[in-house]
Amino acid sequence: MPELPEVETIKRGLEQRVLKRTFVDVWTDFKKTIKRPKNFEQFKKSLKDKRIQSVRRRGKNIILDLSQGMSLLVHQKLTGHLLYGKWRLKSGKWLPLEKGPLTDPMNRFLHLVFWLDNGDQLALSDLRKFAKVELWKTEDLERDEEFKKLGPEPLERSFDFEKFKAILPKKGKIKQVLMDQNVIAGIGNIYSDEILFEVRVHPEKDIAKLSEKNLEKIYSATQDILKKAIKLKGTSISDFRDIEGKKGLFEKKLKAYRRAGKQCFRCGGVIQRIKVGGRSAHFCLKCQVI
């Protein structure tokens, strides 16, 4: 699933391409992607002629704030990513009009296509079709309980070490805590593994047993790793691509995630893979002590 660096990469790309553009039409072959309103024709009618005023990210959500007090929310879920370009529909398949990154096989699963007033298109490629798209009144979105429950943004200036300590629960395995979107917004499997590897903390370590020094290291590693991943436009181990259809480059920097059975870069031990709260966790048994 795209995490904070990948979603931020998409958000920044959209800011460069779609600001002040207006939606003129929309197509889908999978109406279940549209969660609000559930009626696709109503969604299409309500979206038409809305101008994109701003683009923002909240956790793993992308929000396009539109004219007339509306907001379009996109959660890319497991395999979704937004693309920008021009395509034509031929024999039931969307084909990019130009050669380049959009021809990457991972960019061919277009199930939602928006037409913009400049003739370009914004499309959602989603192999597994788990992504969700919702059209809200902006004021209703901001009051929505699920949206309001999201934890603080780890890269906001106001998110200092004291705030980090204050929002942590009293107990729980550190891997699960870092991934809890109601504690901190945006971190998932990839970056929780990388953060904990960096600070030599076992993913099953109980947060109550972590010293203040450990917590400070986790806070600093969170900042550093997320910023580096954004600079490299995220991780593309499988399906993630930026809006131009290009891979992120942080995969080359991974030290723990999906390296099970390989040698630890730091101590020469072997990277292990276990389940923590139903999710995979990668760590070095030799230098990440519980």
The structure's pTM equals 0.97
Q: How far out from the chain centre does Cα 205 lie?
A: 25
What does pLDDT average to over the chain? 97
| pLDDT score at 238 | 87
d(CA 130, CA 60): 14
Centre a 10 Å sphere on the Cβ of residue 197 and count the other Cβ atoms it contains: 26
Q: What whole-number percentage of the chain has pLDDT above 90? A: 98
Residue 147 lies in a domain: no
H/E segment holding residue 216: helix 212-231
| pLDDT score at 1 | 82
| Alpha-carbon dihedral angle through residues 208, 204, 226, 210, given to the nearest 10 degrees | 30
Residue 116 lies in a domain: yes
| pLDDT exceeds 90 at position 203 | yes
Catalytic entry in 21, 86, 217, 279: 279
Confidence of residue 290 (pLDDT cuts 50, 70, 90): confident
Question: Active site includes 153?
Answer: no
- What six digits make up the tokens of 171? 């107990």
Average pLDDT over residues 96-123: 98
pLDDT digits (tens, 9 = 90+) for 41-94: 999 999 999 999 999 999 999 999 999 999 999 999 999 999 999 999 999 999
Three-class SS string for 237-270? CCCCCCCCCCCCCHHHHCCCCCCCCCECCCCCCE
| pLDDT score at 115 | 98
Question: Active site includes 279?
Answer: yes
Question: Active site includes 60?
Answer: yes
Q: Return the CATH number at 52.
A: 3.20.190.10
Co-location of 198 and 72 in the same domain: no
Co-location of 229 and 265 in the same domain: yes
d(CA 125, CA 136): 22
| pLDDT exceeds 90 at position 105 | yes
Co-location of 186 and 83 in the same domain: no
Q: Return the CATH number at 222.
A: 1.10.8.50
Write the burial class of residue 245 (CB in 10 Å: 0-12 exposed, 13-18 middle, 19+ buried): buried
Co-location of 67 and 170 in the same domain: no
Q: Which of 59, 66, 73 is nearest to 7 (CA)?
A: 59
Catalytic entry in 58, 60, 173, 233: 60
Last residue of a domain, one of 76, 105, 139: 139
Co-location of 174 and 123 in the same domain: no
| pLDDT exceeds 90 at position 247 | yes
Provide the 8-state DSSP code for 208.
G
- What six digits make up the tokens of 242? 């930026």
**Tally of domains in the chain:** 2
pLDDT digits (tens, 9 = 90+) for 217-231: 999 999 999 999 999
Question: Active site includes 3?
Answer: yes
Full residue range of the structural domain in which residue 101 is found: 4-139
| pLDDT score at 263 | 98
